[in-house]
Amino acid sequence: MSLARLTAFEEYMFRDDCPAYPMTGTFRLRFAGRVDRESFESAVHHAVARHPLLRATVEQRRWRRPRWIEQPDWLPEIEWDAETNEFGCPNASFMNLTESPGTRVWMTETPRGSSAIFQVHHACTDALGMTQAFEDILIGYARRRDTNTKAELAVLAHDRFPGRGAPDLTVWRFMRMAHKQAVGLLGARQFLFRQPAALQERREELDVNAAPRCFPAATTFPFDIDETRAMLATAKSLGSTVNDLLARDMFLALGRWRKANGIGTDKDWLRFAVPMNLRREADARLPMCNSVSYVFLDRQPREFDDETKLLESIRAEMGRIKRCELQYTSVLSLAASRMLPGGLAAATPPNKCMSTCVFTNPGIVLRKTPLPRDDGRLVAGDVILDGVDYIPPLRPNTGAAICPYTYAGRLNILMHHDPRIVSNEQAASLLGMYVEQLRKSSAHAATSSSRAASEPSPLLTETST
């Protein structure tokens, strides 16, 4: 049964895919306690039944746009006791959406409990869409393991599904924001004429048909609750969002890492590809899907000497993007590219560096899930969700993806790197420098605030005299 045509962004993800760089997200649920097999499989299968893109394939016909085809009876085979690579994940390979749905599930056992690993094609979902599916799985499992669980599955807004590519972007709304998009054209010009520097020169020759030996290669660093609160306070004291601070400090860490490894010059353009959520309030209960676009942050290392100015520039740019609704520029550009010779396939050259790295922040995840909590962690029947990992895909010549997110009051920093470009040791070094920079920023802000509080204000001194 045909569901709908692929949106421009979905088709972009579908075209920008190859065996060497599977355009798939890998997601891991880490449980304290052993998951019951029958109950978990039942919960997963019910979630697949509720979210059509977990079980859909793509139909391609010449001269026609690709379409989603629902496979109503399809269910994933969950592989239990799966073997894992050195990063704790099964090796995830290329998924051909024209042959089978883009969903795989593995279960592994750890000393602390069980882990569920999901590989889902990025054409099918973004991180927030997968979170919606996770909520269904957790509630479904809890209801099967504890008859006293009162949590109910949300009523999904299937009527919003057709507009998922650009929610509520009507012709009238587009006309009203058209003048703002002129700012986006300047950004598009910069995107086209600036060549971003690769994280590092490729260590192996690119063969798009050669499966990676280790994929994904991801490491997560968890901050504790006190450190997380300190970073929130730091961002507030600096008048920025936490995301602005996280992006600024990643630029600083990357600049330091490049110097330590003797890479590039201060005039190189370092580009972060930053996904932006397009969902509006009415889309909170969309079935799992993609409703996202990209914006890009370009900076040169010579801008890194003045940390305050760098943060102000990021804050100003992100504010301008939101104010002028420039998050739509990318999806509108993709829609236009579909009509050009070669279509979106021509817009995804494998031999070109499109961004130095990906910087994606899903925010505070699973915060509204209606299940009990234990120290902030969700309790699902007889297990506790200890942690959750979001591993973004990589494309050729983008050496790493950075994904900060918050769960149970704790900020986590996940880094997914490409061992064909960046060694495991170099990736660990970059992650370590990023963590160190975030701690340094928090400590500096705390010292400044303490000093300001201990010194008499000029107004008080003047009055006392």
Q: If you write DSSP's letter for every residue of 171-217 in order, what string do you get?
A: HHHHHHHTTTHHHHHHHHHHHHH--BPPSS--SS---TTSPPSS---
Residue 416's Cβ-side half-sphere holds a number of Cα atoms within 13 Å equal to: 25
Residue linked to tokens 């520097």: 197
pLDDT value at residue 186: 61
Name the pTM for this structure: 0.91
Query: Are 223 and 411 in contact, with CB atoms under 8 Å apart?
Result: yes
pLDDT value at residue 184: 57
Q: How far apart are CA 71 and CA 52, in angstroms?
A: 8
**DSSP code string of 61-78:** ETTEEEEEEE-TT--PPE
Cβ contacts of 259-266, under 8 Å, gap ≥ 24:
260/429, 260/433, 261/200, 261/426, 263/200, 264/197, 264/301, 265/301, 266/300, 266/301, 266/302
pLDDT digits (tens, 9 = 90+) for 173-226: 666 666 666 555 565 667 667 889 999 988 788 899 999 999 999 999 999 999
Task: Please identify every stretch of the chain with a pLDDT value under 50, giving residue numbers as ranges.
Answer: 452-465
pLDDT value at residue 203: 79
Backbone phi, psi, residue 218, to 5°: -125, 140
Q: What sign does the CA torsion over 335, 126, 68, 118 have?
A: positive
pLDDT value at residue 459: 38
Q: Which residues contact 460 (CB under 8 A, 6 or more apart)?
A: none
Q: Which residues contact 114 (CB under 8 A, 6 or more apart)?
A: 31, 33, 34, 35, 107, 108, 383
**114-121 β-sheet, strand order:** 78-79, 103-109, 114-121, 24-32, 383-391, 377-380, 373-374
Q: How far apart are CA 347 and CA 407, in angstroms?
A: 35
